[in-house]
Amino acid sequence: MKVSLYPKRVALTLALVALILSPVIALAQDQSSLSLQNVKDQLKQNKSYLDQASKQGKAGDAVGMQTALDNYDRGMDGLNTALSHDGGFSGSASQREDALARVSDATSKHIKTLQGLLSKVPAQAQGAIQNAITVSQKGHDMATASLQTSRAQHQNQSGRPDGFGRPSGAGQGMGGGRPAGVGAPAGVGRPSGRPGRP
């Protein structure tokens, strides 16, 4: 009697997928504790998923590529959800800006990778890649918009254009400091313009 290995293979594949997705699910469930390190780790994992999808696509393994792209989509969705919520990031304002800049930069690269892969796969696999591009674009747009908003708020709070220079009016004699000659020892300060007087 011949024993089918198919059910065992399916069970093993499902267990492997569950193991791979456990950090992604934990990230999505615990949005309140997303840190800069979480963002770095998830972006690294997403890159790994894209590399795997590219490798599987070139090898003609549509199922393997689909699995890698599904994992990428879930990872990106988790990041998008966590970063789009107020209070979804734990850390300083500069760490949040760093995280958003990293997401913006990484998703830009991911989109280029996915677009390159799009032309190299069969038509039935293009839908999954197109979906991954959409998710990546959403993450890129959200991160870029949030970063611009964060920088604008930072600029408004500091009162400095582009974060540089002095606040307006500083050092321009508008009431700051002491009047000329007050509290200065004799002979120090501006000349009076009168002969014989300092």
Give the rounded distance of the alpha carbon of 85 from its chain centre. 13
Give a yes or no: residue 198 inside a domain: no
Give a yes or no: residue 184 inside a domain: no
Amino acid, single-letter form, for residue 56 = Q
What's the structural domain count of the chain?
Answer: 1
Range ranked top by mean pLDDT from 16-30, 61-75, 138-152, 164-178: 61-75
**With pLDDT > 90 as the criterion, what percentage of the chain qualifies?**
24
If you search the block for the tokens 């002095």, which residue do you land on?
166
Return the SS3 of 131.
helix
Range ranked top by mean pLDDT from 25-29, 52-56, 149-153: 52-56
DSSP code of 34? B
Exposure of 44 in the CB half-sphere (CA atoms within 13 A): 7
- Report the number of secondary-structure helices (H) and strands (E) in the chain: 5, 0
Give the rounded distance of the alpha carbon of 16 from its chain centre. 28
Q: What is the mean pLDDT of residues 114-135?
A: 87
Handedness of CA 35, 37, 40, 44 (dihedral sign): negative
pTM of the entire predicted model? 0.61
The reported pLDDT for the residue numbered 173 is 47
- Confidence class of residue 43 from pLDDT cuts 50, 70 and 90? very high
The reported pLDDT for the residue numbered 198 is 58
Residue 131 sits in which domain range? Answer: 9-160
The reported pLDDT for the residue numbered 156 is 75
CATH number, domain of 45, equals: 1.20.1260
